[in-house]
Structure 1
């Protein structure tokens, strides 16, 4: 299949030499594609950040957010005009405004394919333009990864907070009328916590409590958060479903299976369960 050059979508009078390419990548705490999808003000901040060098030294910034799963795939985050600069490094030293008149209808809809080599993420636009192709154009603006299926959930607490804050209908509908047993594991130590949703509380409601409190009011997890801090929790506590059933399932069965998984995963002896 013949690839479509990104240049074919650019305005006829667009001059790449007036533009810097900003390829935003994971910063250790947040994925840029999540910031772009959920926090416009913060995304603007990402495009106003100055490192040691005066990287955004041109009139325009062509911004891209790297996909969570494919490092060669980038979601278009708009064209920004630099209207002010300050010399302070490691700060939001650029004043930028969105140029929605330039490809504004493609923001959060256009996926660009670019195999970026090297560590430099801020480049002269003309140096990369010939390598950039159109991967796809979404019908609706990207708002986050779709629900992957009950057996494929493997998401951090930070991911869960975004999903809950957006009240993502695909996730909510799939989880709110389900009982289940879940595991939370610390990616840095492998230690696990096994919990369950039963009674009138579906998985969605139970996980929403984690999104709000971080620890879900669990004694062992509260102790861990006091030790490690909230940022550690958001980045490293990973959620997955072990088993799930309809709300008609008897609570005794759910609790029996919860106890089984605590034993299998050594969640009491080597993890964070206290009972």
Structure 2
């Protein structure tokens, strides 16, 4: 049985809302923006293009749940306080607060316009599910299923996501960072008491984790290049008690296999 949004949340004043279908801007996925920083997410509502697209009192915000086709996560209702020529001032409304980050809707909307009239979409929204807790990142997929963007990793680390932290904090291993813009790759390792979680957290803080070649790429303190282009994969994991020498040897093996010491790679040794 299909449950529609109008069945659980009847809005009598839909003409007071513009609907914001927030999608990737080429650097950030709005889902990861929402998960890592609510203030940054509010900034997505405050951006004003040349036209006054948010020309109604309220914004009904949806975040593209890009892991699932046609699914959108409710990101809140924002009231427009002031319209400036170059930006909006908004505040989060009380209405719908319990649904923020929990309500997932289905809509096949694929129009180019991301700011549309709510009444044209509202009656067709299907309720996909209501999460028990606000979204804080995908569930840990298992060691063999890790292939994530910097953007997603950052959200997981900022939220101290417990399943990822427990799993990656308990193993050493070899990992791969790929610069999708150039196709060049970096093989790294985590050993001793550090664990993969701690090592990857250092990349979230700096963008480069102290690596010389990655430092040349991660020059922007906003980390925009990293968010747009870096991907992380776990090549091999082993118990945290594994010897340093064993891990370093396996790291060298992967560097040879993936040619990361050549012009194809970002390893200098």
What is the TM-score of this pair, normalised by structure 2? 0.92
The equivalences for 1:136-155 within 5 A come to 136-155=129-148
Report the alpha carbon displacement of residue 97 of structure 1 after superposing the two structures with TM: 2.2
The equivalences for 1:89-238 within 5 A come to 91-92=86-87, 94-100=88-94, 102-225=95-218, 230-238=223-231
Partner of residue 48, structure 2: 50
Partner of residue 4, structure 2: 5
**In structure 2, do the counterparts of structure 1 residues 63 and 237 end up closer, same or farther at CA, with 3 Å as the change threshold?**
same
Task: Work out whether residues 33 and 155 of structure 2, in 8 Å CA contact, stay in contact via their aligned partners in 1.
Answer: no
Report the alpha carbon displacement of residue 58 of structure 1 after superposing the two structures with TM: 1.4
Task: Work out whether residues 36 and 154 of structure 2, in 8 Å CA contact, stay in contact via their aligned partners in 1.
Answer: no
Deviates most, 30-39 or 239-248: 30-39
Partner of residue 268, structure 2: 274
Task: Work out whether residues 169 and 195 of structure 2, in 8 Å CA contact, stay in contact via their aligned partners in 1.
Answer: yes
Matched, 1:256 2:254: no
The Cα offsets for residues 168-189 of structure 1, whole Å up to 9 and x where unpaired, read as 2111100112110111111112
Partner of residue 23, structure 1: 21
Matched residue of 1:4: which SS? Answer: coil
Report the alpha carbon displacement of residue 225 of structure 1 after superposing the two structures with TM: 3.6
Structure 1: which 5+ residue stretches go unaligned?
A: none
Paired residue total: 267
Structure 2: which 5+ residue stretches go unaligned?
A: none
Partner of residue 71, structure 2: 73
Report the alpha carbon displacement of residue 160 of structure 1 after superposing the two structures with TM: 2.2
RMSD of the alignment, in Å? Answer: 1.9
- Taking the aligned partners of 2:31 and 2:223, their CA distance within structure 1 comes to 22
- Taking the aligned partners of 1:63 and 1:234, their CA distance within structure 2 comes to 22
Q: Displaced runs of 4+ in structure 1, greater than 3 A?
A: 223-227
The Cα offsets for residues 54-89 of structure 1, whole Å up to 9 and x where unpaired, read as 111112211101112234110001122223223x1x
- Taking the aligned partners of 2:197 and 2:149, their CA distance within structure 1 comes to 15
Report the alpha carbon displacement of residue 213 of structure 1 after superposing the two structures with TM: 2.2
The Cα offsets for residues 10-38 of structure 1, whole Å up to 9 and x where unpaired, read as 24x62212211111111112111122223
Task: Work out whether residues 136 and 155 of structure 2, in 8 Å CA contact, stay in contact via their aligned partners in 1.
Answer: no
- Taking the aligned partners of 1:8 and 1:122, their CA distance within structure 2 comes to 24
- Taking the aligned partners of 2:211 and 2:92, their CA distance within structure 1 comes to 44
Matched, 1:84 2:69: no
The Cα offsets for residues 88-117 of structure 1, whole Å up to 9 and x where unpaired, read as 1xx32x2222221x2221111100101103
